[in-house]
Amino acid sequence: MNASSVTLGVISSGRGENLRYILQEERSGRLPAHVGIVLTDQPDAGALKIAKEFSVPGHFIDPTNLCREEYDQKLIAYLEAEGAELVILTGYMRILSPQFVRHYKDRILNIHPALLPSFRGMDAFAQALEYGVKWTGTTVHIVDEDVDHGPIVYQRPVIVLENDTHDRLKARIQRAEYKAYPRAIKMFIERRPEILGRKLVWQREEK
């Protein structure tokens, strides 16, 4: 990856708000990267509208009648055609095939709304409230073949307030995500970590 402007391929199933903040950082010149393509498995994903707003190519890839491997081969074909060097997952709800993970080994990032390894999987907000933790947060990690599991790039803590509701906690964590994801992407590109097992050894000072 050439740190001057890395091509990002974003895959999303959802609203795409993280994509919006990544694009805003890109357009402000603060990110050494540009979003080259946005892919989604949902025809009405907000991420497609945001891609259009920012004039980035966006595609709905229909998963109907395709097994996971076939679907992921399609994703790879789109990503390769656009020259994506780093894959960014934002609320992508399908599990990637081992083939996809191997193809982009150590070049896929995901954001999860909890301090991993706590509260992996669905509805991390409800899990945190149910468990009664005082702090939760958000984690950007490298994707490996397990769900919400790979080496951690960056974490940002978020307080759980007394009498917090699901919606209030979710909003607070998501606000933290909008800062965390662009920052983690920037660090990952500029500081070129060596990945040793679960640990990242940063090669350069933070700018």
List the catalytic residues: 112
With respect to ligand GAR, which residue has the nearer C-beta, 156 or 192?
156
The residues, ordered by sequence, that sit 6+ positions from 159 with a Cβ below 8 Å of its Cβ are 134, 135, 172
Binder to ligand GAR among 41, 82, 85, 177 (CB under 6 A)? 177
Number of alpha carbons in the 13 Å side-chain half-sphere of residue 41 = 20
Question: Where does this chain touch ligand GAR (CB under 6 A) — which range of 10-18, 33-41, 95-103, 183-191?
Answer: 10-18
Q: Please, what is the minimum distance in Å from the beta carbon of residue 15 to ligand GAR?
A: 4
Contacts (CB under 6 A) with ligand GAR, residues 91-110? 91
Task: Output DSSP code: residue 191.
Answer: S
Q: Which DSSP helix (H) or strand (E) runs through 40?
A: strand 33-40
In whole angstroms, how far apart are CA 49 and each of 15, 132, 169? 9, 37, 26
Q: How far is the CB of 61 from ligand GAR (least distance, A)?
A: 16
At its nearest, how many Å lie between ligand GAR and the CB of residue 91? 3
123/136 Cα distance (integer angstroms) = 13
Residue 33 DSSP symbol: E
Answer for which of 25, 26, 41, 148 binds ligand GAR (CB under 6 A) is 148
The count of residues interacting with ligand GAR (CB under 6 A) is: 14
Using CB under 6 A as the criterion, which residues of the chain lie in contact with ligand GAR when the complex forms? 12, 14-18, 90-91, 111-113, 148, 174, 177
